[in-house]
Structure 1
Amino acid sequence: MKRKYTKLLIGLVVVTLLGSLIYTYVKNKADNSANINTDTAVAVRIEEAAKKSIGAFANLNGKLKPVQEINIIPKYPGKVNNIYFDIGQSVKAGDVLFTLEDKDVKLQLKQAQAGLDMANSALTKATGGGTELQELQLKAALNSAEINYDDAKLAFERTKQLFESGAVSKAVLEQSESRFKLAEQQYDSAKSNYEITITKTNPENIASAKAQVNQAAAALELVKSQLDNTVVKSPINGVIAARYIEVGELAGSTSIAMSVIDLSSVLVDINATEDMINKIKLGDKVEVIIKAAGDDKFEGEVTNISPATDPKTQSYLVRIKIDNSSGALKGGMFAEVKLLLDKAVDVIAVPISAVIDEGGRKHVYVLKGGTAEKREVTTGIFDDEYIVISKGLSEKEAVIVKGQELIQDGSKVTVITK
């Protein structure tokens, strides 16, 4: 019984407190309304409701990056002989960036040419046009090729052991392996050429000799290509963004030696939400603000729209391309992209500050013969300054844009211009 009495007492106290709070709130609200003097004119500013074109924008951020970036990796490993461009310098497509030592490759070229000559001699012999002198020459060439093969094989095996122990780089190993494979190919070709010359001429020997000529010719072209690859050129017009090599160092065929970027245009990737993506179209022009480049605003164009969301951000990637003929834009600069999502043309609009929201119902105050008339309105899209009024106002009606917090429906007002 005592416990019931205690609960009842607590309930009465809570109800009393709530009632007191509600009474205080209502009284204060009434007092505030009473404080607005409808007899004394309140100074206000007005602006006529006017027809405008309003755009609803979304501001999205991203970082600039070059329109193209190429990592320069030598196709042939070798020691760097000369470097002709450094970081920050402009290059054109075809400019020589650096060269690799070509002494060994030129020697291989001579050997490959000799191999082709031997193959042609063997073919002549196989078709019945050979001489004893040619046979002696092919024998000498075979002996020379065998010596080169043995030397290259031994050098490769030693280099491989050094690489496994960490004594030499991968670039050195690749260079040694390339020499060994070429020497092996030249030895096989010389051996086949000699064997053809000492056997009786028959269709099989002729076919084999022709195959050896083709193989030797291919080997020669391979070495020529390797020689060409000792001269490393820029594939694009651009600027050297990075350099990772020094003269005298070995440049590997798997490591980046330089990086060339094209900054004639720049890209910025932004993440659009699902309620935005269908309002963005390829070719749309957008305004881009890049504070690091000054006060100028840049125009960009939508060039790519991802058809699927990124699993991490749950947003759609949109790529913007910006002309950079001025050269003011650099990779990594912060960019703010202003995307137009909706637009209303020739509609009545008022300053956003004129619209008052009371529990989801919006109204403005309209000047009517020296008094303020409260007018409920329906609003639409808005930009940084103005909001569309789709219902409740007519063009050229004078809307109170400052001082409206001090008035109510029917308040006397006086218009000021300052």
Structure 2
Amino acid sequence: MGFKGRITYLILALFLVTVLAAGCGQKPPGQAESQKVPVEVAKVTRGAITQPARVTGTVQAGTTINVTAALPGKLKAVLVNVGDRVSRGQVIAQLDDSDAAARLAQARAGMEQAGTAPAQAEAGIKQAEARVKQAEAQAGLDAANLQRIQTLYDQGAASQQQLDAARTAAAASKENLAAAQGALEAARAGLASSQAQIATAEAAVRQAQVALDNCYIKAPVDGVVAARLLEPGETAQGAVVTLVTTGDLQVEINVTEEDINYLQVGKKVSVEVPAAGNKALEGSVASSSPAADKSTRLYSVKVAIPDAPAEVKPGMAATVVFQTREVQNALLVPKNAVVNRSGQSIVYTVAGGKAVGQVVTTGIDDGRNIEILKGLNEGTTIIVKGQDFVNESQPVQIVNGGPQA
């Protein structure tokens, strides 16, 4: 409070003492009524005003995640305790892996065995290809010899016996070629089969490796262990450990449809945590639900408070303060200048040295100033201190250097 303010309150106090003394003394009735009430005045101004909203929520520590085993199994070990910090990918629990390890070893042996088949098949293909080339050459020679003997026979220079022998040799070489070609196709099919066997064996190894990997339960995110839900020897058929993600604290609030559009993601807001000293903290809207809850008709909003002090703990109540309606060029008076008289909002002006009440219609307020919609004009002199002690036509004394009555 400034020097002038202290002087004003001192004068007001002296006035009250004087009034009480007059009531107890022998002075004529009405003398107290003629006493002038000291007041301070100011002008009605214009300016911008924004109305804040206050919504209470709860401080939260990031996101809660239940870590489960990929497949049910007997729990062999839990490697973390409540309060431990863990990193993404860190092994935090282990299932009995003996069966999975045995299956992996068996699958790898099968793959090694299947791995020798392609080499054998390729060697067979090379041999078959050589036989085909040999058979092709022989068939070509026998076909040419048959043609030569046929020509000689037609000329009478070769016997029937020679012609029949040439025909038999050509037919045999042709059959031998067909057999060699069939053997080559079979060898090639064998190679394809062995390659398929390798692919099947590799898939079996991968499947067995995944099963073994699933025996090691890993943290999906960085976080802090909030709960250890199972112990070694139990069957892991649900959550084994609960993690709370590290990072900024958040306040979750629920707001009405009138306020949700004032809380776009990234908007700066103020956060008050009474249990941590009620100091205003800077926050920003981290997320805003696109639709209202069907049962409550409220929208969920999360506000991040990145620089929260250590005194702010998850679970504490917090109030998020944010700006809503804004009016430019509004008529403004101090909020405490408006008093209630018989259910009406009254602002006192000064005329002829006396208080004159003006009924006003008010709009939004920011906690310090209030918007006047009707009843006053810009520049009007109004009482801003002492108004609670005056009534209609009450004589007043302006004590802050304003116009004297």
Alignment of 1:4-403 (within 5 A): 40-49=34-43, 54-128=49-123, 201-246=186-231, 248-252=232-236, 254-323=237-306, 326-344=309-327, 349-357=332-340, 362-368=345-351, 370-389=353-372, 392-395=376-379, 397-403=381-387
Aligned in 2, Cα 1:270/1:87: closer, same or farther, shift over 3 Å? Answer: same
1:306-363: per-residue Cα shift (whole Å, max 9, x none)? 3333221123333322225645444333221112112346755333332245688643
User: What amino acid does structure 2 have at the position aligned with 1:41?
Assistant: Q
- Which deviates more from structure 2 when the two are superposed, residues 118-127 or residues 104-113? 118-127
RMSD: 3.4
Tell me the CA shift for residue 96 of structure 1.
2.7
User: What amino acid does structure 2 have at the position aligned with 1:226?
Assistant: A
SS across alignment from 1:218: helix
Aligned partners of 1:56 and 1:340 also within 8 Å: yes
SS across alignment from 2:220: coil
What is residue 193 of structure 1 aligned with on the other side?
none
What is residue 407 of structure 1 aligned with on the other side?
391
What is residue 12 of structure 1 aligned with on the other side?
none
Aligned in 2, Cα 1:345/1:49: closer, same or farther, shift over 3 Å? Answer: farther
Tell me the CA shift for residue 299 of structure 1.
2.0
1:149-196: per-residue Cα shift (whole Å, max 9, x none)? xxxxxxxxxxxxxxxxxxxxxxxxxxxxxxxxxxxxxxxxxxxxxxxx
Tell me the CA shift for residue 120 of structure 1.
1.8
Tell me the CA shift for residue 72 of structure 1.
1.1
Aligned partners of 1:263 and 1:330 also within 8 Å: no
Aligned in 2, Cα 1:325/1:352: closer, same or farther, shift over 3 Å? Answer: closer
Aligned partners of 1:305 and 1:317 also within 8 Å: yes
Once residues 414 and 264 of structure 1 are traced to their aligned partners in structure 2, the CA distance between those partners, rounded to angstroms, is: 59
Please report the TM-score for the alignment, with normalisation by the length of structure 1.
0.64
Aligned partners of 1:44 and 1:400 also within 8 Å: no
Tell me the CA shift for residue 249 of structure 1.
1.9
Aligned partners of 2:91 and 2:217 also within 8 Å: yes
Residues matched between the structures, number: 311
Once residues 375 and 400 of structure 1 are traced to their aligned partners in structure 2, the CA distance between those partners, rounded to angstroms, is: 13
1:38-66: per-residue Cα shift (whole Å, max 9, x none)? 95125354353465754312211222333
What is residue 137 of structure 1 aligned with on the other side?
none
Aligned partners of 1:266 and 1:321 also within 8 Å: yes
User: What amino acid does structure 2 have at the position aligned with 1:48?
Assistant: A
Aligned partners of 2:339 and 2:387 also within 8 Å: no
Once residues 109 and 310 of structure 2 are traced to their aligned partners in structure 1, the CA distance between those partners, rounded to angstroms, is: 53
Once residues 329 and 233 of structure 1 are traced to their aligned partners in structure 2, the CA distance between those partners, rounded to angstroms, is: 30
Long gaps (5+) in structure 1: 1-34, 131-199
1:234-287: per-residue Cα shift (whole Å, max 9, x none)? 2322211111122x32442x4111111124113333232233233443322111
- Which deviates more from structure 2 when the two are superposed, residues 103-112 or residues 212-221? 103-112
SS across alignment from 2:34: coil
**Percent identical:** 30
Tell me the CA shift for residue 213 of structure 1.
0.8
Long gaps (5+) in structure 2: 1-28, 126-184, 401-405
User: What amino acid does structure 2 have at the position aligned with 1:316?
Assistant: Y
Aligned partners of 2:49 and 2:328 also within 8 Å: yes
Once residues 399 and 85 of structure 2 are traced to their aligned partners in structure 1, the CA distance between those partners, rounded to angstroms, is: 61
Aligned partners of 1:36 and 1:406 also within 8 Å: no
Aligned in 2, Cα 1:60/1:309: closer, same or farther, shift over 3 Å? Answer: same
Aligned partners of 2:64 and 2:243 also within 8 Å: yes
Once residues 260 and 310 of structure 2 are traced to their aligned partners in structure 1, the CA distance between those partners, rounded to angstroms, is: 31
Once residues 222 and 37 of structure 1 are traced to their aligned partners in structure 2, the CA distance between those partners, rounded to angstroms, is: 103
Aligned in 2, Cα 1:61/1:218: closer, same or farther, shift over 3 Å? Answer: same
Aligned in 2, Cα 1:129/1:65: closer, same or farther, shift over 3 Å? Answer: farther
Please report the TM-score for the alignment, with normalisation by the length of structure 2.
0.66
Rg: which structure is higher? Answer: 2
